Structure 1
């Protein structure tokens, strides 16, 4: 199958959608499909993009806003189609390429499909013209994908008219990356380094967040909760909070750390490449990401929760969007209402103090996370594309 893979989120751009796009493109090619990626990001690509057979990645330089870039994106789809002659058009996110792809695919009489993440659906509901355009794009797609049942329900609730089949395909993780003994060894070394820098003992409880540094991910709420816990929560074991990532609110969070009196207890690592995060998880004891509504943001699943659980970390998160599908409340972690600092303080205090509960949750977390893999994800993606987009050969059953 020849797949024209269209995305505005691809490495070196960071974030969960870019990571998913990379995994999908690489693994679809490894399954024997011919994959041509068109993206708008620039910079060095991961080496796996150069070493994977059947995969080519084309980076296009576009400096324009969301509306003005539609015509250049359509031209990219048109020109790429002439050279590549795809069997199917596929967008790993609706943003950017969704409309240009749908228009060209309809004109060419070719099938197309989109993977939805949740937030982009809410964004398109902000104006009637955008909602109508998305409804048209959805109505004419051959099949749609969603990253959770929560996202599928959004599609069903807002676009019930002539909605095509929506296949839920959970994001996965690369088990081999986390099973690598080297990752565990580097995690141990990293832990020792972090504790040494903070002048804390070996039995310190290390909390971790790996995310884009924005209010949507609840970093601000976590800092406030830790300050309350430190001040009013009674005796506590030593703890350290490691914040990995970069983003628009990083400076605000650094300032907040100083103002709350948490200097020396919070370490900001800066941006960590997607393929190099495994040691971070193995350096920690608890994963914390109390995502919350902010603007049009929706945490529709959360790959980092699965990665953390696979590495044996119980999670502290929120009952928001698709998070309850990735974290099992009371079994592999503790879920609290979004923005509820008092509940978050209690959850943090419970897991920081209770080593046995952390250990019990850790074993269940590892077992739960094993069900999520990129291999399973991509095979389901490929099979669904084949079933809904590729006509059966003469004399063969579909």
Structure 2
């Protein structure tokens, strides 16, 4: 099968940890590699954001990345890319006219718009990764998405062949946009359980208990709640991995904001910013933690808990979005209300004081990550959805 993935802003080649780089980059890269391993011909189409990039790159993982011209060949915030999607679609259309895939799998709503505009009769499957309706609800006036995003996502629900959602909460939101349940399947994001393991190198640490936050430095990720919660665990440090390069941490506005909160809370001496780290070093940082935190205001899915569980580390997460699926409350970790640093602090204090419970959460997390979220299963489940969609579109031969 020839499968083309479209990911307009999240290249599988991009570094992890920038404002617009994160879980989607990891997801697309792992899905493409896994599909190629299963024998499919896979191309990932992403926007050219650097003039020096070659037109196409063939990766050792067996798939190809095509850099599609759309707007200036430089990095742009994803919320500014909508006006460049007609050019993106036009280039896709020309490519697919020469070499049409069997199906297209679009990642993010703007990728879906471009794919539907370019695909003609080629079936398009859609994974949103995040929904504008959820973002608007939680961010309000701070939401920088194009004002018509929700209506455009609603139109995608009508026009794509099928939606691949990543969690049950997303299905509920999609139904509110008018998508019928027979046109959606749930396939979660995954984790590389050969890389994220309980055993392996551990990042340096001192005597203090370590709480770890991993990911982008954006306000909705709830790092400020984690900082305030430190007041309840006076013997612990909070290490934040992600954001700018280590030599640029001090100048970062979000770092400065969080340090200000820490100073007001009296915990500034226990807040550490590691900055962005190479992807290969992430497991060592996860293993160095006593507890891994994932405490966003909202989260479409959230890969950090999967990485923590695969490394055998207990998770404390907010009960939002996909975290409600991945973290089993009282089994692999604890769920807490979002934006409630007092409750977060209480839960962290109790968990840090209970070695046996942390060990039990860690062991259960490893089992859950390997059973439900290993990439081989996620890819196989996605492949199954592809085949079902293609089978439903084939004409039925009538016996005579």
TM-score, length basis structure 1:
0.83
1:188-227 to structure 2, matched below 5 A, reads: 190-191=203-204, 194-195=205-206, 201=207, 204-227=208-231
Aligned to 2:321: 321
Structure 1 residues 129 and 61: CA distance shift in structure 2, 3 A? closer
Aligned to 2:134: 122
Whether the 8 Å CA contact 1:170–1:377 is kept in 2: the answer is yes
Which residue, out of 6, 10, 19, partners 2:26? Answer: 19
In structure 1, C-alpha distance between the alignment counterparts of 2:312 and 2:4, rounded to whole Å: 37
1:360 shift after superposition: 2.1
Structure 1 residues 164 and 272: CA distance shift in structure 2, 3 A? farther
1:328 shift after superposition: 0.9
Aligned to 1:35: 42
1:19 shift after superposition: 0.9
Structure 1 residues 36 and 84: CA distance shift in structure 2, 3 A? farther
Which residue, out of 34, 48, 72, partners 2:87? Answer: 72
**SS of equivalent to 1:144:** strand
Aligned to 1:152: 171
TM-score, length basis structure 2:
0.82
Whether the 8 Å CA contact 1:310–1:369 is kept in 2: the answer is yes
Gaps of 5+ in 2: 16-20, 138-144, 245-252
In structure 1, C-alpha distance between the alignment counterparts of 2:361 and 2:31, rounded to whole Å: 30
Deviations 1:142-198 (A, max 9, x none): 1110010111111112214x66510100111111112495xx1x21xx23xx32xxx
In structure 1, C-alpha distance between the alignment counterparts of 2:43 and 2:132, rounded to whole Å: 24
1:307-386 to structure 2, matched below 5 A, reads: 307-371=307-371, 372-386=373-387
In structure 2, C-alpha distance between the alignment counterparts of 1:249 and 1:330, rounded to whole Å: 32
**SS of equivalent to 1:75:** helix
**SS of equivalent to 1:382:** helix
**SS of equivalent to 2:269:** coil
In structure 1, C-alpha distance between the alignment counterparts of 2:284 and 2:49, rounded to whole Å: 27
Aligned to 1:172: 190
Aligned to 2:142: none
Aligned to 2:121: 109
Aligned to 2:61: 52
Gaps of 5+ in 1: 196-200, 231-237, 293-297
**Corresponding pairs, count:** 364
Structure 1 residues 240 and 166: CA distance shift in structure 2, 3 A? same
Deviations 1:183-242 (A, max 9, x none): x1x21xx23xx32xxxxx3xx321111111122111101111113543xxxxxxx32221
Which residue, out of 264, 278, 282, partners 1:277? Answer: 282
Deviations 1:58-103 (A, max 9, x none): 3546337233212221122113213432121211222x22112112
Aligned to 1:264: 269
